[in-house]
Amino acid sequence: MAEIKNHRIPIYAVLATVLFKLLFLLTHYIQEDAFITWRVAQNLLDYGVIGFNGNEKISASTTHLYVFVSYLFNLIFGKENFIEPLLIFNSVLFTIGSLFLSHLLLKNAWHKAIFIFLIGILPPAIKISILGMEYGILFFLEMMLLYYGFNKGKKWAQIVLPVLIIFTRIDTVIFLGVIFIIDIFWNKKIRWPYIFGGISGVGGMLAFNCLYFGEIVNNTIVAKKLAYDKQYSLQQNFDHFLQNFGNFWGMLKLPVDFNPLTILLLIFEALCFMYLIRQKEKRNFFLWIIFVFGWVKQVVFLSQKSMFDWYYWVPQMLLFVPVLLFVIEQKQRKSLWLALLIIFYSIPMLAFQTIHCIATGNGEWNYRRTIGLFLNSYEKNKNQWVFLEPAGYVPYFSGLKTIDEVGLVDKKIQGEIRKDKKNFWINTVKNRKPKYLLSYDDLFTSENAEYLQLHYKLIKEFRVKDHLKSDNKILEKIYILKPSGSDYNLYERID
């Protein structure tokens, strides 16, 4: 009976962790790109087409599987009510994924419970759970693959899960590849079902893209590479890496180029990892997988100058796992080690993320969303076009057809970039004549001011400073401490 109760302890930890993190839903901190995926899902619902603007097919979202899941939530709960249930779903799946991970690495039920909660309140874990991105599902599938496919040896998991993982994100070939290589070295055998699953996943994804969208890789990858492509010398590449890795490798992102706290964290993570793998245990196989993956994923993405936070959430968390294991399994002065970790790391990180969520949620939900809502009420014809960047909140809440400056949701912009990258923006305005322009800049003082003044009028200014007030004085102090968002000017075509 006591053994049965002990088995339930990690389950209780899952429930407690999910309930605790649901408090963060009150911050309304939802990532901009989540609204791109959700608009694609609603486009599928309205037009029967995976796209962004009506009947035009385009892989505007980086994730096919999450588009389908979002589609189902829209279908079940309706467009007005699906967001909270979906965020709860993401949080539950992520936390179950941490349960699978605890089973792989720990034996004691109480140790598992502590692990589940402490990993669940790390900044990247909170963001994975509540920001609306696909990483809750992804983490669940990846940990499920390790648990059932490689711990339990289930062939169905080795075949099916790689397919689902790749259809969630194409860059997960890095994760699957690391597993394959370490498995070969560790077990000295080839798992043919796993190879079949990997080939099926990659082949299925490429075939789907080719047959449905007429492209090999997702449009988002092509668009970002085209828009952000810049030639660097070897020295510039090295300097760029040094300036940025500190903010993307560690969990605490500071408003400076270099974050020295990351160095200390990396050293401690590496020392804990080396300490753990000296012990001859079966779990070392999984420790090698998650630690090597964490390093490889971050190096690859930083080398490609991928500066979006979400690429690094899962690696950040997995690299920290050895620290949690080291502290939780201390045989002497365990309480002291655990107290030091909680007081000097977990609580400060949680406080930092709480402030960040409150401030950024205000800047996104209370500010940027209002721009979309204004356009929604101002323009009743939803076939009109708005030209802007980025293509998340404003298009979603305005309902207007959208041209974004990167080309994530509109391929024609990519043609303009290829023809004349320097002047693609004004060329797009002249050729396509969008009714609305939303810009960070004062367009009437730009180099194209003469044309723009002739054809457009300024109808509204949106300013971050106007959204830093609150009846709650604590919230107001947080908003002022960390103002979030950008100033915008909205223009309407007059001819």
Q: What is the pLDDT of residue 234?
A: 77
Task: Output the six-digit token pair for 39.
Answer: 């608009």
Q: SS3 for 329?
A: coil
Q: What is the pLDDT of residue 252?
A: 74
- pTM assigned to the model: 0.94
Task: Output the six-digit token pair for 56.
Answer: 């035009």
Q: What is the pLDDT of residue 1?
A: 45
Alpha-carbon distance values, 27 to 30, 65, 84, 219, 366 (Å): 9, 27, 12, 31, 10
Q: Are 70 and 86 in contact (CB under 8 A)?
A: yes
Q: What is the pLDDT of residue 225?
A: 84
Q: What is the dihedral of CA 144, 145, 148, 151, to 10 degrees?
A: -110
Residue 184's nearest CA partner among 135, 144, 150 is: 150
Residue 242: CB atoms within 10 A of its CB come to: 11
Q: What are phi and psi of 341, to 5 degrees?
A: -60, -45
Q: What are phi and psi of 392, to 5 degrees?
A: -105, -90
Q: Are 148 and 157 in contact (CB under 8 A)?
A: yes
Q: SS3 for 428?
A: helix
Q: How far is it, in rounded angstroms, from Cα 354 to Cα 218?
A: 34
- Over residues 297-328, the pLDDT tens digits come to 998 988 888 878 899 999 999 999 999 999 99
Q: Where are the domains of the chain?
A: 2-342, 359-493
> What element of type H or E holds 491?
strand 488-493
Q: Are 441 and 435 in contact (CB under 8 A)?
A: no
Strand pairing of 456-462 and 488-493? Answer: antiparallel
Q: What is the pLDDT of residue 217?
A: 84
Q: What is the pLDDT of residue 5?
A: 59
- List the 436-439 sheet strands across, edge first: 401-404, 385-388, 436-439, 488-493, 456-462
Task: Output the six-digit token pair for 304.
Answer: 């490609």
Q: Can you list the residues of the chain whose pLDDT is less than 70?
A: 1-5, 255, 257
Q: What is the pLDDT of residue 4?
A: 52
- Over residues 337-380, the pLDDT tens digits come to 999 999 999 999 999 999 999 999 999 999 999 999 999 999 99
Q: What is the pLDDT of residue 226?
A: 84
- For 284, residues 6+ apart whose C-beta sits below 8 A from its C-beta are 276, 277
Q: How far is it, in rounded angstroms, from Cα 19 to Cα 31?
A: 21
Angle between helices 313-328 and 284-303 (to 10 degrees): 150
DSSP state of 62: S
Q: How far is it, in rounded angstroms, from Cα 58 to Cα 49?
A: 9
Query: Does a cis peptide bond (omega within 30 degrees of 0) precede residue 322?
Result: no
Per the listing, tokens 């080309």 go with 407
Per the listing, tokens 């648990």 go with 147
Instruction: Quickly list H helices, 52-172.
Output: 64-77, 83-105, 109-120, 123-130, 135-144, 155-168
